[in-house]
């Protein structure tokens, strides 16, 4: 049995065991020698106190004993090695150990493991331990696997070698990632979790970002399906400053599809029918995957009928047949069609259908200018707003129709070549303008409903389909109207007089003020030019002031004609006397002035003074002549009287 054991024992292990045994014995021998030396020193010390002279002899004896002591024989009870044998054994033992440095990354072998930790042999005098949590990214870890470790410390306070697999991966990872970026090497990574806009991937122990757009060539709607999976990637970007790594799985797929894409593109021809898969749906069309090449089916090419959104026709991942309509020179943009694979609905339109026929359909689109009615799938006609009602006052089509309404209409035009059709609904009712002259005679009074108000007048509907215009100038005889809404509102009932009937142009001219006699015939006798009337200033603007005279008549005064006698300007709501300076019956305008009143008074006063002075002058001249005629000689006293008369005459002339 002992022979078999010796055969099974590894020579290197035997040497190691013997070396350990020698070391153990050496340590014990050193301890014994140290104790002997301590005892000798203590004895020498105690004797020195009694016999000082014997000190030199004791020291000499200890030195002699130490010199003759065989240190190599310590611990060797059964086996003795020569010096040459010992050196050989130490050399062999030294070759079994590895020289290591702290902060170094080495490869080691897992020699044992449990659920918590793994023991790793790196060829050092002792093994190290790493937590199993640092190896969880590996699918299976078994004894004998090689792992990289980081030397944190060769020996802690307990003499244990401290290793870290996580730090070793991190240090080597950046070198691996940079190499992968340069060489475009395909690497594997573990998808850890989902994040905003993509996934977090563990690559060589580094957390890399996988954008959602780089997961696959087709849009991904569920990112969670990739979590906890190991996938292949390519490194596409490294930010060394922020230590960010971006990887792509899509790049691998694209590389494979690129070959297929070139083959497909080379075979593409206009008019070719292919099968594809709905890849993406947008508001303007559908993207079809033709097997590595994408094409677009515009919303107008999905169906001959009207389509509000492509989702009404197709759904994601649906297999569809498409025809190639067009593509650019590089065949990067491919236009596809689906409706072209079906017969055009206009080709199936009843050949007997003609202008004047009545048709029924469903309203599919409503716009301001009209409504589109589908009379059969893919065949539509337009009802213009002018063909909805007989009224000349057009309204938006939204006031008459809503999408989905079932309507009946008459075909007005039909062009099979251009595939256009116009419809009308008012033609299904009698034209109210037939016999209009007999129904609405000029001068007759009628009541109607106000349907619309514009800046220039009011539209009044006398009966359905018949309306007329009351011009703003025909709303009031005397009141100045800035906008018709000052008189009436939409929906009000308004009494009018027929002024004119235009059958050909389907127009009625109406009047409201004509319900009363023209007061301007009377106003002409009341507001004579030069007459003065009391008025109230209601408004002042850049042109002047509006003055309301008796009977509610409005007049206009320029700004210079509202200056008062104290040289101030009159204000709004001020009541003053105004003089009529102009009256125009046809234009129904009156011009007034307050300033002119006191200016005329001053003028009359000056005029009277001048007339009085002139009369006095004439009388004085007459007296002088009388005196000259009655006297031939003039005395000194007469001269004084003449001088006085002359002075009075000169003063009169000056006045």
Backbone angles phi, psi at 245, to 5 degrees: -125, 130
Nearest to 290 by CA among 210, 217, 373, 197: 217
Report the pLDDT value the prediction gives residue 322, as an integer from 0 to 100: 92
pLDDT of the residue at 30: 55
The architecture (CATH level 2) of 520-593 comes to Beta Barrel (2.40)
CA distance 228 to 336: 39
Q: What are the DSSP E strand ranges found in 17-139? A: 105-113, 117-121, 128-131
268: pLDDT strictly greater than 90 = no
Q: What integer pLDDT is reported at residue 320 of this predicted model?
A: 92
DSSP readout, 225-273? GGTT-EEEEEEEEEETTTTEEEEESHHHHHHHHHHHHHHHHHH--TT-E
Regarding the domain with residue range 436-515, which homologous superfamily does it belong to in the CATH classification?
Nucleic acid-binding proteins (2.40.50.140)
- Lowest mean pLDDT, pick from 54-68, 332-346, 419-433, 462-476: 54-68
pLDDT at 202: 85
Query: For residue 597, what pLDDT band results from cuts at 50, 70 and 90?
Result: confident
CATH architecture of the domain 268-341 equals Beta Barrel (2.40)
Q: Which CATH number fits domain 105-170: 3.30.1360.120, 2.40.50.140, 2.60.120.680, 3.30.70.2740?
A: 2.40.50.140
Q: Categorize the per-residue pLDDT at 9 as very low, low, confident or very high, splitting at 50, 70 and 90.
A: very low
Q: Please work out, in degrees rounded to the nearest 5, the angle formed at the alpha carbon of residue 528 by the alpha carbons of 524 and 534.
A: 105
- Whole-angstrom Cα distance, residue 631 to residue 633? 6
CB atoms within 10 A of CB 406: 9
Does 407 score more than 90 pLDDT?
yes
Give the CATH number of domain 345-428: 2.40.50.140
More confident residue, 12 or 619: 619
165-169, 394-398, 583-587, range with the lowest pLDDT: 165-169
pLDDT for 360 equals: 92
Sketch the domain layout of the chain as residue ranges.
Answer: 2-95, 105-170, 184-253, 268-341, 345-428, 436-515, 520-593, 600-654
Q: What per-residue confidence (pLDDT) applies to 54?
A: 44
pLDDT tens-digit readout, 102-151:
667 777 888 888 888 888 887 777 788 888 877 776 767 778 888 878 88
Query: Rounded to the nearest 5°, which phi and psi values hold at 265?
Result: -60, -40
Instruction: Look at residue 210 in the predicted model and tell me its pLDDT.
Output: 87
What pLDDT is attached to residue 606? 62
Q: How far lies 132's CA from each of 38, 128, 135, 327, in Å?
A: 50, 13, 5, 58
184-253 and 345-428 share one fold: yes
Q: Distances from the Cα of 118 to the Cαs of 121, 125, 129, 135, 153, in angstroms?
A: 10, 17, 6, 9, 17
d(CA 153, CA 164): 10
* DSSP code of residue 617: H
For domain 184-253, give its CATH number from 3.90.45.10, 3.10.20.30, 1.10.510.10, 2.40.50.140.
2.40.50.140
pLDDT confidence band for 50 (50 / 70 / 90): very low
CA distance 644 to 625: 15
- How far apart are alpha carbons 222 and 199 in whole angstroms? 11
DSSP state of 410: E
Looking at residue 419, its pLDDT comes to 86
Mean pLDDT (the chain) is: 78
Q: Region 335-346: what's the mean pLDDT?
A: 88
Q: For residue 52, what pLDDT is reported?
A: 45
Predicted confidence at residue 11, as pLDDT, reads: 52
Calpha distance 593→570 (Å, rounded): 11
CA 265, CA 257: separation in Å to the nearest integer? Answer: 12
395: number of CA atoms within 13 Å, CB side? Answer: 13
pTM: 0.41
Question: Do the beta carbons of residue 335 and residue 326 sit within 8 Å?
Answer: yes
Specify the pLDDT at position 391. Answer: 78
Report the distance separating Cα 389 and Cα 384, nearest Å.
10
In total, the chain counts a number of residues equal to 655
pLDDT band at 207 (very low <50, low <70, confident <90, very high): confident
Residue 48 has pLDDT above 50, yes or no: no
Residue 327 or residue 582, greater confidence = 582
Cα–Cα distance, 9 to 531 (Å, whole number): 149
| Dist CA 442 CA 393 (whole Å) | 21
> H helices then E strands: how many in the chain?
10, 30
Model confidence band, residue 444 (pLDDT cutoffs 50, 70, 90): confident
Share of the chain above pLDDT 70, in %: 75
């Amino acid at each position: 049995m002992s022979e078999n054991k010796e055969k099974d024992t590894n020579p290197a292990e035997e040497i190691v065991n013997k070396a350990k045994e020698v070391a153990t014995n050496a340590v014990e021998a050193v301890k014994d020698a140290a104790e002997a030396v301590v005892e000798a020193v203590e004895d020498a010390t105690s004797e020195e106190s009694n016999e000082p002279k014997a000190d030199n002899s004791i020291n000499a004896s200890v030195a002699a004993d130490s010199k003759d002591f065989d240190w190599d024989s310590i611990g060797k009870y059964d086996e003795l090695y020569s010096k040459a044998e010992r050196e050989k054994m130490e050399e062999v033992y030294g070759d079994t150990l590895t020289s290591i440095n702290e902060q170094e990354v080495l490869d080691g072998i897992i020699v044992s493991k449990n659920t918590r930790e793994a023991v790793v042999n790196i060829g050092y005098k002792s093994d190290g331990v790493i937590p199993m949590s640092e190896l969880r990214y590996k699918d299976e870890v078994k004894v004998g696997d090689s792992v990289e470790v980081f030397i944190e410390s060769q020996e802690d306070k307990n003499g244990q070698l401290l290793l870290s697999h996580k730090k070793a991966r991190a240090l080597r990872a950046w070198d691996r990632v940079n190499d992968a970026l340069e060489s475009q090497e395909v690497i594997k990574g573990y998808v850890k979790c989902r994040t905003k806009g993509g996934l977090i991937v563990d690559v060589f122990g580094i957390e890399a970002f996988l954008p959602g757009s780089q997961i696959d060539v087709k849009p991904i709607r569920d990112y969670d399906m990739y979590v906890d999976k190991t996938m292949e990637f390519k490194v596409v970007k490294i930010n060394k400053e922020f230590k960010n790594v971006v990887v792509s799985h899509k790049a691998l797929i694209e590389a494979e599809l690129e070959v297929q894409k070139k083959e497909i593109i080379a075979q593409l021809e206009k008019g070719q029918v292919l099968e594809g898969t709905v890849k993406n749906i947008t508001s303007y069309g559908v993207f079809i995957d033709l097997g590595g090449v994408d094409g677009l089916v515009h919303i107008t090419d999905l169906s001959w009928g009207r389509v509000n959104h492509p989702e009404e026709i197709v759904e994601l991942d649906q297999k569809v047949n498409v025809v190639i309509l067009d593509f650019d020179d590089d065949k990067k943009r491919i236009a596809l069609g689906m409706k072209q694979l079906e017969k055009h609905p206009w080709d199936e339109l009843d050949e007997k259908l003609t202008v004047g026929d009545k048709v029924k359909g469903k309203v599919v689109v409503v716009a301001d200018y009209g409504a589109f009615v589908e009379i059969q799938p893919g065949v539509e006609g337009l009802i213009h707003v002018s063909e909805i009602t007989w009224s000349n006052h057009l309204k938006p089509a939204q006031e008459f129709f809503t999408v989905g309404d079932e309507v009946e209409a008459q075909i007005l035009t039909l062009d099979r070549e251009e595939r256009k059709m116009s419809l009308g609904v008012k033609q299904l009712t009698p034209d109210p303008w037939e016999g209009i002259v007999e129904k609405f005679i000029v001068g007759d009074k009628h009541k109607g409903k106000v349907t619309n108000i514009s800046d220039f007048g009011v539209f009044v509907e006398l009966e359905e389909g018949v309306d007329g215009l009351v011009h703003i100038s025909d709303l009031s005889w005397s009141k100045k109207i800035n906008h018709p809404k000052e008189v009436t509102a939409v929906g009000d009932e308004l009494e009018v007089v027929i002024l004119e009937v235009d059958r050909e142009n389907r127009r009625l001219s109406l009047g409201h003020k004509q319900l009363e006699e023209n007061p301007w015939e009377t106003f002409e006798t009341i507001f004579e030019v030069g007459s003065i009337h009391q008025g109230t200033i209601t408004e002042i603007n850049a042109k002047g002031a509006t003055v309301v005279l008796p009977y509610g008549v409005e007049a206009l005064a320029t700004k210079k004609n509202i200056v008062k006698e104290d040289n101030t300007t009159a204000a709004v709501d001020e009541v003053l006397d105004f003089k009529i300076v102009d009256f125009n019956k046809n234009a129904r305008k009156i011009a007034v002035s307050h300033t002119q009143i006191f200016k005329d008074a001053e003028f009359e006063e000056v005029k009277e003074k001048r007339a009085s002075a002139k009369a006095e002058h004439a009388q004085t001249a007459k007296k002088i002549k009388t005196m000259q005629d009655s006297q031939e000689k003039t005395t000194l006293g007469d001269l004084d009287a003449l001088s006085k008369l002359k002075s009075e005459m000169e003063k009169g002339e000056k006045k």
